[in-house]
Amino acid sequence: MELRIGNRVEKLDHLSVGPACVLLLRALDHDHEIDPSGSDALVPHCGHTFFVDEAGVWLSFNCNIGLDWDVTHAGPLVTLSTDASSVTIPRQQWVAAVVGFSDAVEACYRESAPKLLGEETADGFRPFWREWQERRAAAR
């Protein structure tokens, strides 16, 4: 998989694409600013851990190696900006790209062999997966 924003192209083969789905689905309706520390990237490197807060919401904790960009909503348009380029697209195109990515990753999950999760991981995975499904359904 690769990410294209304007003239920037990045391979996603070393990143946590599952957690990226939830973070990108969150960005369908909310602006996102590049995190200067890199630890709140939209496509995390080390986002494969599953923690929840006191309210049971999945939290993304990751290192500073992920891919990040600004997402700014303005009515029917969304602007995606990196340090090298910026592109403004219709919101429907942004939604289609995120949903398409999310569906492709989910298809990969479904085709993979079942994974055994330890109790601590399962406790965090359930809210992660529930949020993914709820946000994906809301994007339809």
User: What's the confidence (pLDDT) of residue 106?
Assistant: 95
Question: Can you give the residue ranges of every domain in the chain?
Answer: 2-128
> What share of the chain in percent tops pLDDT 90?
48
Q: 57-66, 82-91, 123-132: lowest mean pLDDT where?
A: 57-66
> What span, in angstroms and rounded, lies between the C-alpha atoms of 33 and 46?
19
Which pLDDT band holds residue 122 (cuts at 50, 70, 90)?
Answer: confident
pLDDT the model gives residue 1: 75
Nearest CA among 33, 36, 17, 37 for reference residue 98: 17
**Would you say 64 and 34 are in contact if contact means Cβ atoms under 8 Å apart?**
no
Cβ–Cβ under 8 Å, residues 47 and 67: no
